[in-house]
């Protein structure tokens, strides 16, 4: 019988599809024995199947995957949802309407009837009206330029 390193080399050669029939027979015989290293026990069924001519009624079965209980799945799903919500709350800054107004119109003021007013709550509508009028004028100017071309 060959040494462990020789068998390992034959296994790799077999998995690469480069073994001769004699080398394959040697592997089948080796894995038919009960004296296998623990790390190769999962290959025993595969080599037995190949050695028996690959019968369809005895296809090697994949190793069973551990199944999670419904309770474990529920905890995983719940934890994932909670983590997603926490991440959204942490990443999306809390902003109120007042903060948005301050960010957009900071430093704005209106003079009406000679009275200066910079209270954003009082002048927000005036600013919005002026911005809409400015957009209208810009669209009108663009249309005039398009006609000139």
Q: How far apart are CA 74 and CA 92, in angstroms?
A: 27
Which of 34-43, 59-68, 95-104 shows the lowest per-residue confidence on average (mean pLDDT)? 95-104
Q: How far apart are CA 16 and CA 129, in angstroms?
A: 76
> Does the pLDDT at position 40 exceed 70?
yes
Distance, C-alpha 12 to centroid of its chain? 34
Which of 7-21, 55-69, 72-86 shows the lowest per-residue confidence on average (mean pLDDT)? 55-69
Label residue 61 by pLDDT band (50, 70, 90).
low
- Cβ-contact 120, 108 below 8 angstroms: yes
Ordered by start, the domain boundaries in the chain are: 4-58, 97-148
> Does the pLDDT at position 57 exceed 80?
no
Report pLDDT digits (tens) over 91-130: 766 555 555 555 666 777 777 788 888 887 777 787 788 8
- Cβ-contact 108, 127 below 8 angstroms: yes
Average pLDDT, the chain: 78
> Does the pLDDT at position 133 exceed 70?
yes
Which of 1-5, 120-124, 130-134 shows the lowest per-residue confidence on average (mean pLDDT)? 1-5
> Does the pLDDT at position 1 exceed 60?
no
- Cβ-contact 14, 23 below 8 angstroms: yes
């Amino acid at each position: 019988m060959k040494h462990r390193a020789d068998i390992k080399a034959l296994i790799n050669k077999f998995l690469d599809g480069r073994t001769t029939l004699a080398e394959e027979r040697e592997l089948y015989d080796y894995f038919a024995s009960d004296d296998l290293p623990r790390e190769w026990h999962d290959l025993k069924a595969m080599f037995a199947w190949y050695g028996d001519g690959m019968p369809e009624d005895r296809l090697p079965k994949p190793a069973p995957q551990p199944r999670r209980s419904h309770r474990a799945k529920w905890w995983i799903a719940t934890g994932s949802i909670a983590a997603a919500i926490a991440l959204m709350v942490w990443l999306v800054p809390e902003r109120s309407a007042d903060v948005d107004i301050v960010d957009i119109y900071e430093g704005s003021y209106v003079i009406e009837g000679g009275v200066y007013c910079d209270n954003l709550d009082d002048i927000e509508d005036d600013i919005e009206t002026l911005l809409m009028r400015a957009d209208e004028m810009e669209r009108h100017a663009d249309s005039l330029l398009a006609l000139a071309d």
